């Protein structure tokens, strides 16, 4: 492998220097932060709420738990976890992007949340938390934007308590050929158009579609989680594999 190849990574379908990807991803989310919730509802026709509900159910979070919501964005999962852990527990909403973190913090505080929630700007590849600390770690629709996914998965495993669970909710590979064709057509025509009409930004939504295609498929991600030190790794396909929820346990 050449030195040039080692120092580049993909940003959507483009090859860019590793250092540049973080800046470009930040630019995407700076652009979409204010319209993120609206666009989620439009793009998924509201189905993202069902995907997240299933994630909550499989997390096993209960009173007193310590929970980390990585790439927590506008706080959909954090909000639900806050209710479940109660006053005895704590939820940390972490995001690498300051704009997204501010939108999430403002949204949660405006709705009366915050007593058991902390907000931390953090990079998933080098999380500023101690070993064996969290009962549950989640990352929803964020792993595909991470440059070194293997490193991030190892660090997420590091901060889990023995018996703790990592849940990765992410776009994946459709299991039905007809769905694949329909999904490709939708992703590369409808998504950029909606981004232009409702968020004034077609390029960021084109990148989001490309980043989904570059993300590892279900079985590859399962293997990556096992290599990171997780056991009993399983995944659940939703919407014909358009989205998959992976769960692994730290022994």
Average per-residue pLDDT in the chain? 89
In this structure, CATH architecture of domain 22-175+207-249: 3-Layer(aba) Sandwich (3.40)
Strand-by-strand arrangement of the 134-140 sheet: 117-121, 90-95, 66-70, 134-140, 160-171, 243-249, 231-238
Q: How confident is the model at residue 206 (pLDDT cuts 50, 70, 90)?
A: confident
Burial 228-243 (b: 16+ CB within 10 A, else e): bbbeebebeebbebbb
pLDDT of 5 strictly over 60 = no
d(CA 157, CA 165): 9
The predicted structure's pLDDT at residue 2: 39
237 known member of a binding site: no
Each residue's pLDDT tens digit, 148-162? 999 999 999 999 999
d(CA 121, CA 113): 18
124 known member of a binding site: yes
The predicted structure's pLDDT at residue 34: 67
Q: How many CB atoms lie within 10 A of CB 204?
A: 21
123 known member of a binding site: yes
Each residue's pLDDT tens digit, 89-147? 999 999 999 999 999 999 999 999 989 999 999 999 999 999 999 999 999 999 999 99
30 known member of a binding site: no
Token pair for residue 48? 């993202």
pTM exceeding the 0.85 threshold for the entire prediction: yes
pLDDT of 3 strictly over 80 = no
């Amino acid at each position: 492998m050449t030195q040039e190849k080692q120092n580049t990574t993909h940003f959507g379908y483009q090859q860019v220097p590793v250092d540049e990807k973080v800046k470009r991803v930040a630019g995407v989310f700076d652009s979409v932060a204010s319209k993120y919730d609206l666009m989620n509802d439009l793009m998924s026709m509201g189905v993202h709420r069902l995907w997240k509900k299933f994630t909550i159910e499989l997390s096993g979070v209960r009173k007193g738990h310590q929970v980390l919501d990585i790439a927590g964005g506008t706080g959909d999962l954090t909000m639900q976890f806050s209710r479940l852990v109660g006053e005895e527990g704590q939820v940390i909403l972490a995001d690498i992007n300051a704009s997204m973190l501010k939108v999430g913090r403002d949204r949660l505080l405006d709705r009366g949340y915050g007593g058991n929630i902390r907000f931390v700007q953090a990079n998933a590849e080098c999380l500023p938390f101690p070993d064996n600390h969290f009962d549950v770690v989640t990352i929803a629709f964020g792993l595909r934007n991470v440059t070194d996914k293997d490193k991030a998965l190892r660090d997420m495993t590091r901060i889990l308590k023995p018996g703790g669970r990592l849940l990765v909710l992410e776009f994946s590979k459709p299991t039905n050929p007809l769905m694949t064709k329909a999904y490709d057509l939708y992703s590369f025509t409808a998504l950029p158009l909606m981004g232009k009409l409702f968020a004034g930004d077609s390029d960021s939504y084109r990148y989001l579609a490309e980043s989904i295609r570059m993300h590892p498929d279900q079985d590859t991600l399962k293997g990556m989680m096992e290599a990171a030190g997780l056991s009993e790794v399983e995944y659940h396909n939703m919407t014909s594999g358009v989205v998959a929820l992976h769960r692994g346990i730290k022994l």
